[in-house]
Structure 1
Amino acid sequence: MKFPAWLKPGLIGAGAGAVALAIVGFSWGGWVTGGSAKDMAAKSSNAAVATALMPYCIERAGGGDTTTTTAMTELKAASTYARRAIVEKAGWATPLGAEKPNAELAQACQLKLAEAF
Structure 2
Amino acid sequence: MIIGFTAGGWTTAGTAAEMAKTSAMKAKAELAANLCVEKFITASNAGDNLAKLKGTSSYQRDSFISDGGWVKLAGIKSDVPGAADLCADKLSAMDTIPTNGVAQENTKS
Q: Percent identity?
A: 30
- In structure 1, distance between residues paired with 2:12 and 2:73: 32
Name the structure 2 match of 1:7: none
TM-score (norm 2): 0.68
**Shift in alpha-carbon separation, 1:35–1:80, aligned structure 2, 3 A:** farther
Instruction: Give per-residue Cα distances to partners, 1:45-103, cap 9 Å, x unaligned.
Output: 122223333442112212125xx677544421122222122212222222221111112
* Structure 2 unaligned blocks of 5 or more: 96-109
The higher radius of gyration belongs to 1
TM-score, normalising length: structure 1: 0.64
Q: Paired residue for 2:94?
A: 116
Write 1 or 2 for the structure with the bigger share of helix: 1
The structure 2 residue matched to 1:64, chosen from 44, 65, 73, is 44
Q: Structure 1: which 5+ residue stretches go unaligned?
A: 1-20
CA RMSD across the alignment = 2.3
CA–CA separation in structure 1 for the residues paired with 2:64 and 2:58 = 11
